[in-house]
C-alpha cells in the first residue's frame, strides 16, 4: 500500500506527541514521588518540632491510658516496658515502668489488667492533665487543689516524696487519686528540707505535725496516680533513687 506525503507527515507527527505525553506522565509520577518524600520529611520535621518544644505528643499518648485496659492493649500502644518488679505486698500485682526524658510512667497490673497507673513529671513544665479533675501537674500547690487531707504518705530515706490520697467519687468508680511531689533529682534545697523535716518528726513519733504538714502541702505536684487499688500499693510502686538510676535513667 502506498503512503502519501500527507499520511507520512501525520505518522511522523503522532510519535513525537506520544513520546512527549509519555515523558509528561513520567515527570508527573516523579514529581508526585518527590512530593510524597517532601511531605513525609515535613511531617517528620513538624513532629520533631512539637516533641522538642511542647509536650503535646506525650500528653496525647498518656491520655490513652485507662484503668481496666488489658496489659496487651497497653503494650500495643506504648511498646514493651523498660523495667518491672513484683509487689512485695500483693503476690498478683506487678509494676511496669517506662522511662522518658520528660516523665516516668508506672503501670500497676494485676491478672493482665491495668489496676492503676502513675505519672511523674521530670521537667518543670510537664503540665499533664490529671484525669477526672481540672488539675494539671506543676501548675499550683497541692493545697490549692485540695483543701483537706484525707490521708498522706511520705518518706525521705531511699526517695524523698510527699503524696496524699483522695477518693474521686462514685462517678468514676470510686477510684483513688494520689497527688504529690517526688524527687528524682530536681528538688530545690527548700523542697528537700520540707520533706525531710516532716519525716524526721514522724520518725520521732511526734503527734502534732500539722505545721509541717501544712508546709508540705505548699509543694507543687509533679506526681499523680489513678487506681482502683489501695493507695499504699501505688506508693509502694515508686522507684527508689537507686532503682530509678539503674533501671530508667538511660532511657
Written as one string, the DSSP assignment of 116-140 is EEEEEE-STT--PBPTTSS-BTTSS
Of 229, 233, 195, nearest in space to 215 by CA:
195
Of 124, 101, 131, 94, nearest in space to 220 by CA:
124
Q: Number of structural domains, the chain?
A: 2
Of 205, 212, 141, 208, nearest in space to 179 by CA:
141
Of 61, 71, 60, 213, nearest in space to 151 by CA:
213
Q: 99-119 burial by CB neighbour count: b if 16+ within 10 A, else e?
A: bbeebbbbbbbbeeebbbbbb
Q: Look up the domain containing 202 and give its range.
A: 65-248
Report the C-alpha gap between 138 and 222 in whole angstroms: 5
The pLDDT of residue 31: 66
DSSP 70: B
96: in domain: yes
Q: 186-212 burial by CB neighbour count: b if 16+ within 10 A, else e?
A: ebeeebeebbebbbebbeeeeeebeeb
The pLDDT of residue 10: 47
60: in domain: no
In sequence order, what are the beta bridge partners of 108? 95, 116
Q: Are residues 42 and 74 in the same domain?
A: no
Rounded to two decimals, the pTM is 0.80
Report the C-alpha gap between 251 and 99 in whole angstroms: 5
Enumerate residue ranges in the chain where pLDDT < 70.
Answer: 1-53, 249-251
Q: Are residues 116 and 21 in the same domain?
A: no
Report the C-alpha gap between 152 and 244 in whole angstroms: 23
Q: Are residues 88 and 192 in the same domain?
A: yes
Q: Which residues contact 191 (CB under 8 A, 6 or more apart)?
A: 160, 181, 183, 219
Q: Is the separation of the CB atoms in 244 and 161 below 8 Å? A: no
Count Cβ atoms below 10 Å from residue 224 Cβ, excluding itself.
24
58: in domain: no
Q: Are residues 202 and 139 in the same domain?
A: yes
The pLDDT of residue 171: 85
Q: Are residues 117 and 184 in the same domain?
A: yes
159: in domain: yes
Report the C-alpha gap between 62 and 130 in whole angstroms: 10
Chain segment 40-84, per-residue pLDDT in tens: 544 544 455 455 567 999 999 999 999 999 999 999 999 999 999
Report the C-alpha gap between 227 and 33 in whole angstroms: 49
Q: Are residues 94 and 206 in the same domain?
A: yes
Q: Are residues 115 and 155 in the same domain?
A: yes
Q: Are residues 106 and 20 in the same domain?
A: no
The pLDDT of residue 12: 47
Q: Are residues 111 and 209 in the same domain?
A: yes
Q: Are residues 146 and 199 in the same domain?
A: yes
Q: Are residues 42 and 75 in the same domain?
A: no
Q: Are residues 115 and 144 in the same domain?
A: yes
Amino acid at each position: 500500500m502506498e503512503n502519501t506525503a500527507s499520511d507520512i507527515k501525520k505518522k511522523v507527527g503522532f510519535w513525537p506527541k506520544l513520546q512527549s505525553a509519555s515523558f509528561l506522565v513520567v515527570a508527573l509520577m516523579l514529581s508526585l514521588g518527590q512530593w510524597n518524600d517532601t511531605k513525609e520529611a515535613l511531617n517528620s520535621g513538624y513532629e520533631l518540632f512539637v516533641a522538642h518544644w511542647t509536650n503535646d505528643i506525650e500528653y496525647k499518648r498518656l491520655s490513652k491510658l485507662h484503668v481496666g485496659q488489658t496489659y496487651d492493649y497497653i503494650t500495643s500502644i506504648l511498646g514493651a516496658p523498660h523495667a518491672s518488679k513484683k509487689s512485695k505486698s500483693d503476690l498478683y500485682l506487678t509494676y511496669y515502668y517506662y522511662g522518658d526524658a520528660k516523665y516516668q510512667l508506672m503501670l500497676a497490673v494485676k491478672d493482665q489488667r491495668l489496676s492503676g497507673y502513675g505519672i511523674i513529671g521530670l521537667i518543670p513544665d510537664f503540665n499533664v492533665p490529671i484525669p477526672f479533675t481540672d488539675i494539671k501537674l506543676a501548675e499550683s500547690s497541692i493545697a490549692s487543689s485540695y483543701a483537706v487531707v484525707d490521708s498522706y504518705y511520705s518518706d525521705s530515706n531511699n526517695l524523698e516524696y510527699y503524696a496524699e490520697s483522695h477518693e474521686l467519687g462514685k462517678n468514676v468508680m470510686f477510684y483513688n487519686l494520689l497527688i504529690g511531689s517526688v524527687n528524682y533529682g530536681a528538688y530545690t534545697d527548700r523542697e528537700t528540707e520540707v520533706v525531710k523535716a516532716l519525716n524526721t518528726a514522724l520518725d520521732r513519733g511526734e503527734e502534732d505535725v500539722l505545721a509541717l504538714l501544712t508546709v508540705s502541702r505548699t509543694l507543687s505536684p509533679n506526681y499523680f496516680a489513678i487506681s482502683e487499688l489501695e493507695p499504699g500499693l501505688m506508693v509502694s510502686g515508686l522507684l527508689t533513687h537507686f532503682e530509678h538510676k539503674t533501671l530508667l535513667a538511660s532511657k
